[in-house]
């Protein structure tokens, strides 16, 4: 399988950059808004700082985890997990972004739920954090899309009349509301001019919904990128893009932000009650950090080039100077 660690180039970059910072506190990179492999213990390949997180039939190099706020009290523990991998397939280089919903096995869905993935957004949607390269930046949707746009998107979702609708029908109606309408606050962030493009709707509860990974499917896994480990993971969506072999392309495609609007319909189901329809916008992104790479980030101890970093398949090896130029990295100063 030509599955290669396309990402370790950028990992090397941040490692070297941070190694040259005067002071460095590893905990700075833990338990943030978007968590990484460093928070959920993905296994690394032996002797390298490259993650090989095998989850059912796919091996990922990085993840990003974003909790859905427990605002109503009914959504406790729900977390979106994005896992990424770049692969050279016979036709092209593919960038896979897989999205999982993590939940407590005891979680009882309220009236129903849908996820809308905004898969084609403007390059203006980004996190800017100090001088960090794009593969480790993170933040909230308010930072990536502005508070005004987030508020309008939530308002638009809650304004859709869904009474009596369930499952696919409700999801389809929500999707249409975004394809056919764009609030001025969001105008710069969509690729369409009169509506959002590339909106993918997925039903999360009921007969048409994807099911949690079963123990049988999990038998081939060495990785369960969520805490607590007792949580279920359900693969909801895959975004597959293709591109050339340049590092800038890999960084752009794999570490893009994907806004996801999770809409919970009102309903009373056993122990959980969602009185009003509830919508939460999450900005999902993979983060290029893991335990091994953090462990290597100590001042004055730069990581030597890993095998993958020196010769990523299909990507010409670059010198360190070129690498730094590619991602525009300066010195990281951590207060």
Ligand X SMILES: *[C@@H]1O[C@H](CO)[C@@H](O)[C@H](O)[C@H]1NC(C)=O
Complex with ligand X: residue 76 or 246, whichever CB lies closer = 76
73 makes contact with ligand X (CB under 6 A): yes
d(CA 151, CA 215) in angstroms, rounded, equals 39
Contacts of 120 (CB under 8 A, 6+ apart): 191, 196, 197, 198
Helix (H) or strand (E) holding 100: strand 93-103
Paired residues of 259 in beta bridges? 283
Q: Which two tokens stand for residue 43?
A: 């296994």
Residues between 195 and 234 with contacts to ligand X, criterion CB under 6 A: 215, 218, 221-222, 224, 229
47 makes contact with ligand X (CB under 6 A): yes
31 makes contact with ligand X (CB under 6 A): yes
193 makes contact with ligand X (CB under 6 A): no
Nearest residue relative to ligand X (C-beta): 73
Complex with ligand X: residue 17 or 119, whichever CB lies closer = 119
Near ligand X by CB under 6 A: residue from 267, 279, 296, 312 = 267
d(CA 261, CA 331) in angstroms, rounded, equals 35
What minimum distance in Å lies between the beta carbon of 146 and ligand X?
Answer: 23
Residues between 120 and 159 with contacts to ligand X, criterion CB under 6 A: none
Complex with ligand X: residue 113 or 153, whichever CB lies closer = 113
184 makes contact with ligand X (CB under 6 A): no
What minimum distance in Å lies between the beta carbon of 222 and ligand X?
Answer: 6
Of 74, 76, 93, the C-alpha closest to 85 is 93
271 makes contact with ligand X (CB under 6 A): no
What minimum distance in Å lies between the beta carbon of 58 and ligand X?
Answer: 6
Contacts of 276 (CB under 8 A, 6+ apart): 158, 266
Size of interface with ligand X, in residues (CB under 6 A): 21
d(CA 103, CA 76) in angstroms, rounded, equals 8
d(CA 153, CA 280) in angstroms, rounded, equals 9
76 makes contact with ligand X (CB under 6 A): yes
Of 20, 61, 13, the C-alpha closest to 326 is 13
Per CB under 6 A, residues contacting ligand X are 31, 46-47, 56-57, 70, 73, 76-77, 108, 111-112, 215, 218, 221-222, 224, 229, 235, 267, 269
């Amino acid at each position: 399988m030509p599955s290669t660690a396309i990402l370790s180039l950028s990992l090397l970059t941040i490692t070297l950059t941070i190694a040259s910072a005067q002071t460095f506190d590893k905990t700075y990179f833990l338990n943030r808004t978007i968590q990484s492999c460093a928070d959920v213990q993905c296994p690394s390949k032996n002797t390298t700082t490259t993650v090989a997180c095998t989850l059912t039939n796919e091996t990922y190099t990085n993840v990003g985890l974003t909790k859905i706020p427990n605002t109503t009290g009914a959504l406790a523990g729900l977390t979106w997990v994005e896992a990424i991998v770049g692969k050279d397939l016979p036709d092209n280089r593919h960038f896979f972004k897989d999205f999982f919903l993590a939940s407590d096995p005891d979680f009882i869905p309220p009236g129903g739920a849908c996820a809308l993935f905004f898969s084609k957004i403007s390059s203006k949607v980004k996190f800017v954090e100090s001088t960090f390269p794009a593969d480790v930046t993170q933040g909230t949707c308010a930072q990536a899309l502005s508070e005004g746009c987030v508020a309008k998107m939530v308002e638009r979702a809650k304004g859709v009349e869904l009474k009596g609708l369930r499952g696919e029908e409700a999801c389809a109606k929500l999707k249409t509301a975004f394809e056919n309408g764009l609030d001025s606050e969001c105008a710069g962030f969509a690729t369409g001019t009169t509506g959002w493009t590339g909106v993918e709707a997925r039903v999360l509860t009921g007969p048409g919904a994807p099911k949690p990974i079963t123990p049988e499917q999990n038998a081939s896994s060495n990785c369960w990128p969520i805490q607590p480990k007792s949580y279920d993971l359900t693969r909801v969506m895959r975004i597959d893009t293709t591109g050339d072999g340049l590092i800038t392309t890999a960084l752009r495609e794999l570490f893009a932000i994907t806004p996801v609007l999770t809409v919970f319909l009102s309903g009373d189901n056993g122990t959980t009650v969602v009185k009003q329809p509830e919508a939460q916008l999450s900005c999902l992104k993979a983060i290029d950090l893991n335990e091994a790479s953090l462990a290597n980030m100590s001042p004055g101890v730069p990581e030597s080039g890993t095998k993958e970093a020196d010769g990523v398949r299909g990507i010409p090896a670059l010198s360190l100077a070129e690498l730094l130029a590619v991602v525009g990295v300066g010195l990281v100063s951590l207060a």
